[in-house]
């Protein structure tokens, strides 16, 4: 039984010069941060938070750019015994008003006591706050010293127990921000220990990540797991990766990286957008596990990635899979470490109409399913039927799990917490089936769209579209459609309008495209403007997104 502070203190006292992470920034030399640097930086934030009168167990929202301040503020809040929650910062394409609304929504449920932000963003934060809300202090990063020597005897976190909440994890958007996954010290350490066993983590390992820290895959696999387990981490910014995806390959080559996690779209993205001239001298042979995680995994994406990089030493066995969620801290299952990822070829018809994953007999009408692997130690997975009965192998139902690393609760949301569990099983909202212990995830119960590894709630997008003049409340439907080429979902919006005029319709479509891009940081691929009464509604008058999706596919395929 331990806490974050105890573990960090042990590194500080016993291995202060051990490198915790390498920070890669374009235009700068790579910086290395040892455990002493890391904790000195965190101590400065712990003091700044303390000086503002923030108490143990109070929530501190972090809105900082990817880099040292974010890392320091995160660990600093924890050293003080406060609960950090990282919120994405505003990017150039996101509209400030929208961001403010999201922030206000987070504040209303989570009731943070402080916000830490950077100078350029201060006015945005102030604009989102109200005199009577819970926020008592706004800490600006340039007012916090780069480092101080920690006094472990006076740190607020000394009183923390392993069952206390250590941080909150949110998914994005107005809806996602209202559901913070609260995780305890113990749950995080259990996950790190269990998952390290699955991955056979060892002293040779080096984690390379470009993932954002406001997402569970980035925060746990690409940040906390390596730092807490003493595994060197090479960290680059997601904003630089998207402009220069080749940097990932160069970093793996330079630092002899062994472990990485990527959402499915990144396989396609790297395969398509990296030039030979950027791969000169690159050697990927050290990469032993690249886990495909956080959006539906595609066999085709693995092939594309392998074909593109095999001449640079990439091993096929390195292509792994993982099923993960913030509610289990991170990993639930892992595939491909102890042998190649199993590919299950099933009959499409039986799967779609009878909910059975029946092995295919011929080549026609089949689906290639990638196994997400076996549950990690101390995590159990079951497939539940409509009556919540446990289903047999190859029957498709809802994926449920229980483990020693589950969330404590959805923060300040007892209603959501209660709904998420059934007799001790956490109901994931994903559909899947099992064969010989391995899990295959086949879809999801909720309407959630996953684009580029990011969960997007369709109702958030619909709300945005309704802001456009000519679009009416309740006459919009948002859904995702898988894009084979990109390896992720495209977001589609269908909107009913009164006008028949083509010019006006195209103006409305442009308006929707703009408001969605700027309001959600999601690029909308298709806007479909239709006549009144086009949209399908449920018997209770609700938006039937799946039915609208089917109708749209039929209409646009002809």
Partner 1 sequence: MTQEIISTLSAHICSEMLKQPQRQLSPDEALISSGVIDSFHLVDLALFVEDTYGVVIDDSELNKDTFDNLNQLVDLIQIRQA
Interface residue list for partner 1 (CB under 8 A): 26-27, 92-94, 239-240, 242-245, 269, 273, 275, 452, 506, 509, 513-514, 517-518, 523, 525-526
The string over 263-302, giving b where at least 16 C-beta atoms fall within 10 Å of a residue's C-beta and e elsewhere, is bbbbbbbbbeebeeeebeebebebbbbbbbbbbbbbeebb
- Indicate the residue among 275 and 386 with the shorter CB distance to partner 1: 275
CB of 93 to partner 1, least distance (A): 4
Length of the chain: 558
CB–CB of 475/494 below 8 Å?
no
Burial class of residue 303 in the structure, from the number of CB atoms within 10 Å of its CB (0-12 exposed, 13-18 middle, 19+ buried): middle
CB of 30 to partner 1, least distance (A): 16
CA distance 453 to 267: 12
CB of 126 to partner 1, least distance (A): 23
CB–CB of 488/453 below 8 Å?
yes
Q: Is the dihedral of CA 236, 242, 244, 245 positive or negative?
A: positive
CB of 460 to partner 1, least distance (A): 16
- Indicate the residue among 45 and 214 with the shorter CB distance to partner 1: 214
Q: Could you tell me which of 550, 540, 527, 539 has the C-alpha nearest to residue 476?
A: 527
- Indicate the residue among 84 and 452 with the shorter CB distance to partner 1: 452
- Indicate the residue among 111 and 528 with the shorter CB distance to partner 1: 528
CB of 414 to partner 1, least distance (A): 38
Q: Could you tell me which of 239, 216, 265, 294 has the C-alpha nearest to residue 89?
A: 239
CA distance 342 to 372: 8
- Indicate the residue among 93 and 136 with the shorter CB distance to partner 1: 93
Return the DSSP state at 55.
P
CB of 203 to partner 1, least distance (A): 34
**Helix-strand-coil split of the chain, %, nearest 5:** 35, 25, 35
- Indicate the residue among 303 and 517 with the shorter CB distance to partner 1: 517
CA distance 524 to 539: 29
- Indicate the residue among 6 and 240 with the shorter CB distance to partner 1: 240
CB of 509 to partner 1, least distance (A): 7
CB of 169 to partner 1, least distance (A): 24
- Indicate the residue among 93 and 348 with the shorter CB distance to partner 1: 93
CA distance 122 to 84: 18
In three-state form (DSSP H/G/I as H, E/B as E, the rest C), the secondary structure along 345-372 is EEEHHHHHHHCECCECCCCCCEEEEECC
Burial class of residue 404 in the structure, from the number of CB atoms within 10 Å of its CB (0-12 exposed, 13-18 middle, 19+ buried): middle
CB of 523 to partner 1, least distance (A): 4
CB–CB of 211/218 below 8 Å?
yes
Strands 165-169 and 397-403: unpaired
- Indicate the residue among 408 and 507 with the shorter CB distance to partner 1: 507
User: Which residues are CB-contacts of 242 (< 8 A; sequence separation ≥ 6)?
Assistant: none
- Indicate the residue among 80 and 513 with the shorter CB distance to partner 1: 513
CB of 241 to partner 1, least distance (A): 10
Q: Is the dihedral of CA 425, 431, 435, 440 positive or negative?
A: negative
CB of 554 to partner 1, least distance (A): 18
- Indicate the residue among 238 and 336 with the shorter CB distance to partner 1: 238
């Amino acid at each position: 039984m331990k806490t974050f502070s105890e573990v960090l203190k042990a590194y500080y006292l016993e291995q202060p010069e051990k490198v915790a992470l390498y920070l890669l920034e374009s235009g700068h030399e790579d910086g290395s941060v040892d455990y002493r640097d890391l904790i000195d930086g965190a101590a400065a934030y712990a003091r700044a938070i303390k000086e503002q009168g923030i108490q143990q167990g109070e929530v501190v929202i972090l809105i900082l750019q990817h880099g040292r301040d974010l890392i320091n503020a995160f660990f600093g809040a924890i050293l003080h015994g406060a609960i950090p929650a990282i919120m994405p910062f505003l990017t150039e394409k996101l509209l400030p008003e929208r961001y403010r609304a999201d922030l206000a929504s987070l504040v209303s449920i989570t009731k943070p006591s402080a916000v830490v932000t950077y100078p350029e963003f201060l006015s945005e934060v102030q604009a989102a706050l109200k005199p009577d809300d819970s926020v008592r202090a706004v800490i600006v990063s340039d007012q916090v010293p780069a480092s101080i020597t920690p006094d472990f005897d006076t740190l607020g976190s000394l009183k923390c127990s392993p069952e206390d909440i250590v941080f909150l994890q949110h998914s994005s958007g107005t809806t996602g921000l209202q559901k913070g996954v609260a995780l305890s010290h113990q749950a995080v350490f259990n996950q790190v220990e269990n998952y390290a066993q699955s991955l056979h983590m060892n002293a040779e390992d080096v984690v390379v990540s470009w993932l954002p820290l406001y997402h569970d895959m980035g925060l746990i696999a690409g940040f906390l797991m390596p730092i807490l387990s003493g595994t060197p981490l090479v960290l680059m910014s997601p904003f630089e990766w998207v402009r220069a995806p080749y940097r990932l390959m160069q970093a793996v080559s330079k630092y002899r990286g062994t472990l990485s996690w990527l959402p499915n779209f990144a396989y396609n993205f790297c395969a398509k957008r990296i030039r030979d001239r950027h791969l000169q001298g690159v050697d990927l042979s050290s990469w032993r596990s690249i886990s495909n995680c956080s959006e539906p995994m595609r066999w085709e994406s693995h092939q594309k990635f392998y074909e593109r990089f095999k001449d640079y030493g990439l091993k096929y066995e390195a292509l792994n899979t993982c099923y993960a969620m913030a509610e289990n801290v991170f990993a639930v299952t892992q595939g491909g470490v102890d042998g190649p990822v199993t590919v299950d070829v099933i009959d499409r018809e039986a799967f779609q109409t009878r909910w059975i994953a029946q092995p295919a007999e011929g080549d026609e009408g089949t689906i290639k399913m990638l196994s997400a692997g076996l549950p990690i130690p101390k995590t159990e997975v079951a497939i539940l039927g409509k009556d919540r009965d446990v289903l047999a192998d190859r029957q498709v139902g809802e994926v449920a799990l229980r483990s020693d690393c589950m969330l404590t609760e959805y923060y300040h949301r007892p209603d959501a917490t209660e709904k998420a569990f059934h007799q001790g099983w956490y109901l994931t909202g994903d559909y899947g089936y099992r064969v010989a212990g391995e899990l295959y995830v086949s879809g999801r119960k909720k309407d959630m769209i996953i684009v580029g590894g990011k969960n997007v709630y369709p109702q958030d997008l619909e709300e945005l579209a309704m802001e456009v003049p000519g679009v009416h409340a309740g006459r919009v439907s948002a859904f995702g459609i898988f894009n084979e080429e990109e390896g992720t979902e495209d977001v589609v919006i269908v909107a009913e309008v009164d006008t028949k005029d083509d010019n006006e319709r195209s103006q409305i479509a442009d308006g929707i495209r703009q408001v969605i891009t700027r309001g959600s940081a999601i690029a909308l691929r298709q806007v479909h403007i239709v006549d009144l009464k086009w949209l399908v509604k449920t018997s209770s008058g609700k938006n039937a997104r799946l039915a609208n999706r089917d109708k749209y596919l039929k209409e646009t395929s002809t």
